[in-house]
Structure 1
Amino acid sequence: MKAIQLSALHQPLAVVDVPDPTPAHGEVVIDLKAAGLNHRDVFVQQGLYPGIVLPVFPGSDGAGVVSAVGEGVDRSWLNCEVVINPGLNWGPNHVVNSPAFTILGMPTAGTFAEKIVIAQTNVYHKPTHLSFEEAAALPLAGLTAWRALMSRAGLSRQHPERVLVTGAGGGAALFALQFAVAAGAEVWVTSGSEAKLAKAKALGAKGGVNYKEADWHKTLLKLATNGDAEKSRAGYFDVIIDSAAGPDFAKLTQVAAPGGRIAFFGGTSGKITDVQPSVVFFKQLSIFGTTMGNDVEFGDMLRFVEKYQIRPVIDSVRPLADAQAAYDRMNAGGQLGKLVLSIA
Structure 2
Amino acid sequence: MKAAILQERGRNGLRVRDVPMPVRRPGEVLLRVHAAALNRVDLYMRDNGAGITHRLPQTLGVEAAGVVVEADADSGLEIGLHPGKKAVVYANAFCGKCRYCLAGDQPLCLHAHIMGEHRDGGFAEYVAMPARCVLPLPDHVDLVEAGALLAAYLTAWRMLFGKRALRPGETVLIAGVGGGVAVACLQLALHAGARVLVTSSSDDKLARAQAMGASGGVNYRREKVAKRVLEMTSGEGVDMVIDSSGAASWDDSLRSLRRGGRLVTCGATTGSNPPADLQRIFIRQLEVYGSTGGSVAECHQLLALFASGAIRPVIDRRFVLDDIGAAFDQLEHGNQFGKVVVTMA
Could you state the TM-score of these two structures normalised by the residue count of structure 2? 0.91
Change (3 A) 1:9 1:16: same
Residues 135-173 of structure 1, C-alpha deviation per residue, up to 9 Å, x if partnerless? 1011111111111111034212xx421111111100011
The equivalent of 2:88 in structure 1 is 83
Q: Is the deviation greater in 259-268 or in 65-74?
A: 65-74
| Count of residue correspondences | 334
Residues 28-66 of structure 1, C-alpha deviation per residue, up to 9 Å, x if partnerless? 111111111111111111014423421101011111110
Give 2:55's aligned amino acid: V
The equivalent of 2:298 in structure 1 is 297
The equivalent of 2:197 in structure 1 is 188
Change (3 A) 1:61 1:271: closer
Q: 2:145 aligns with which of 134, 137, 143?
A: 134
In structure 1, C-alpha distance between the alignment counterparts of 2:222 and 2:111, rounded to whole Å: 42
Aligned-residue Cα RMSD (Å) equals: 1.9
The equivalent of 1:317 in structure 2 is 318
SS of 1:205's partner is: coil
SS of 2:64's partner is: strand
In structure 2, C-alpha distance between the alignment counterparts of 1:130 and 1:192, rounded to whole Å: 34
SS of 1:21's partner is: coil
Residues 205-257 of structure 1, C-alpha deviation per residue, up to 9 Å, x if partnerless? 111101223512212221x23xx4xxx1xx32111111011043122222111
- 8 Å contact from structure 1 (residues 87, 101) kept in 2: yes
Q: 1:61 aligns with which of 60, 63, 77?
A: 63
Change (3 A) 1:188 1:129: farther
Give 1:87's aligned amino acid: N
SS of 1:304's partner is: helix
The unaligned stretches of length 5 or more in structure 1 are: none
Change (3 A) 1:210 1:102: farther
Superposition pairs of residues 32-71 of structure 1, within 5 angstroms: 32-51=33-52, 52-70=54-72
Residues 76-95 of structure 1, C-alpha deviation per residue, up to 9 Å, x if partnerless? 42211111111221633445
The equivalent of 2:181 in structure 1 is 172
Superposition pairs of residues 8-23 of structure 1, within 5 angstroms: 8-10=8-10, 11-23=12-24
- 8 Å contact from structure 1 (residues 59, 105) kept in 2: yes
Shift of 1:284: 1.6
In structure 1, C-alpha distance between the alignment counterparts of 2:116 and 2:70, rounded to whole Å: 21
Q: Is the deviation greater in 267-276 or in 294-303?
A: 267-276
Change (3 A) 1:48 1:151: same
Residues 254-287 of structure 1, C-alpha deviation per residue, up to 9 Å, x if partnerless? 2111221111011112144344323222222111
Identity between Structure 1 and Structure 2 (%):
35
The equivalent of 1:163 in structure 2 is 172
